[in-house]
Amino acid sequence: MESLRGLPAVDALAAQLDAPHPDAVAAARAVLAERRAELLGGGGGDADLVARARARLAPSLRRVLNATGVIVHTNLGRAPLAVAAQEAVARAAAGYSNLELDLEGGGRGSRHAHVEALLCELTGAEAAIAVNNCAGAVLLAAAALAGPQREVVVSRGQLVEIGGGFRVPDVVAQAGARLVEVGTTNRTRRADYERALGPATGAILRAHPSNFRQLGFVQEVEIEELCEVGVPVIDDVGSGVLAELDVLADEPAVRRSVRAGAALVCFSGDKLLGGPQAGLLAGRADAVARARAHPLARALRLDKLGLAALEATLRLYRDPERARREVPVLAMLTAPEAELAERAARLVARIGPAAEVVEATARVGGGALPLLELPGPAVAVRARSADALAAALRAGDPPLIGRIDAGRLLLDPRTLAEDEIDHAARAVVSALG
């Protein structure tokens, strides 16, 4: 009872919080109720009620500083948006928009119109639509071109599972189609596809392998030859490569699949394209029309903020050099060695003697280019416990996320923006005490 009587009043606790009064009172009331329950349940010890209340007031989805060296980091939201895309989202969020209004005629418009012309211009496709992610795009494509009682033909070597338990056979099943496997795990030929075709064939699906790679005695049918077989081809190229960069040469290019004649090419709006989470379908006008008319298209549609960010990102690709500079993913992939060295040196200078520059390797991430290594400098921070230091940095505001290697905490400047270097250094100095 003495412990209960020692609890502060709601208003007294709320007064110590830097938050609007209604929010502060709500947080204080919830924390005090939680603490009373602990005490009545026999719990003792000290409890920092102010810290608890502040944690309750903090937003759950927060900005973090990515110093992991993984560019398209799924856990950290994948691709950061270009400044132009950030500004477009802010404009779309500020009030109403012409999301589905034809401003010229005054009637109902299509949300797909905001990005379709750009997608066609950049990919060479006849038509295009955008949905909420690439998994949704593949599901919609399979449902629209095959659907119930029809078959989707897939190479056994492409029946992969990617992050989050997303499996190609499950996608085909959810589309209502029947999966037909051809070839073997490591070798599939054109003749394997041709033997599987019949009156019930709806489409051939070529699936991006994500992090899975086969080396050695392997063979697959290239997209140009696959499109000659005579049935619609759905080509899931995954990461959305629109930029012509040497570092991206091993990822399937969207333009190549469209040029080859694929009915629908599915790819991500984030990842290597560097925009918001979205699934894009580009290809033949008849195939896109079937996808647009399918009931799943509404369930999977992209919202106005995603469309605003996607449109702004796609506009940058009209000037390839501007895209390389302003789309953060492309800028990180092609960052000059001298620039990375300068950032690393600046980090060390601000952190002090606990830090040193070491050689490290960054990764693309997001299921793209899993074999590609990006050598460059990193900053190794010495501490009694690398795990404890990492935990302290995660608890900061904003949190700083690095990676632990050989008992040291590494901070990779490749994935830190120019204006984040000083923030990162201050976070480390504070965490080291």
Which range marks the domain in which residue 28 is found? 2-57
Would you say 263 and 271 are in contact if contact means Cβ atoms under 8 Å apart? no
129 and 166 together in one domain: yes
Query: Going by C-beta distance under 8 Å and a sequence separation of 6 or more, which residues neighbour residue 54?
Result: 17, 18, 27
Model pTM above 0.75: yes
Residue labelled with tokens 């973090």: 64
- The identity of residue 87, as a single letter, is E
The per-residue pLDDT for 213 is: 75
Q: Which two tokens stand for residue 73?
A: 């980091």
Would you say 229 and 204 are in contact if contact means Cβ atoms under 8 Å apart? yes
Would you say 217 and 186 are in contact if contact means Cβ atoms under 8 Å apart? yes
91 and 166 together in one domain: yes
Domain limit, last residue, from 302, 326, 350: 326
The per-residue pLDDT for 204 is: 96
Distance between CA atoms of residues 318 and 305, nearest Å: 21
Q: Give the CATH number of the domain where residue 260 resides.
A: 3.40.640.10
Domain limit, last residue, from 309, 326, 343: 326
The 8-class DSSP code of residue 317 comes to T
* pLDDT tens digit at each of 433 positions of the chain: 778 888 999 999 999 998 888 999 999 999 999 999 988 888 777 889 999 999 899 889 999 999 999 999 999 999 999 999 999 999 999 999 999 999 999 999 999 999 999 999 999 999 999 999 999 999 999 999 998 889 999 999 888 887 666 788 888 889 999 999 999 989 999 999 999 999 999 999 998 877 777 778 889 999 999 999 999 999 999 888 999 888 888 888 999 999 999 999 999 999 999 999 999 999 999 999 999 999 999 999 999 999 999 999 999 999 999 999 999 999 999 999 999 999 999 999 999 999 999 999 999 998 788 878 999 999 999 999 999 999 999 999 899 999 999 889 999 999 999 999 999 999 999 999 8
311 and 340 together in one domain: no
The per-residue pLDDT for 246 is: 86
SS3 per-residue string spanning 81-130: CCHHHHHHHHHHHCCCCCCCECCCCCCECCCCHHHHHHHHHHHCCCEEEE
Distance between CA atoms of residues 151 and 197, nearest Å: 9
388 and 423 together in one domain: yes
The 8-class DSSP code of residue 149 comes to T
203 and 282 together in one domain: yes
70 and 97 together in one domain: no
Total of domains in the chain:
3
Using alpha carbons, select from 251, 302, 247, 248 the residue that is nearest to residue 119.
302
Cα angle 417-423-428, degrees, rounded to a multiple of 5: 120
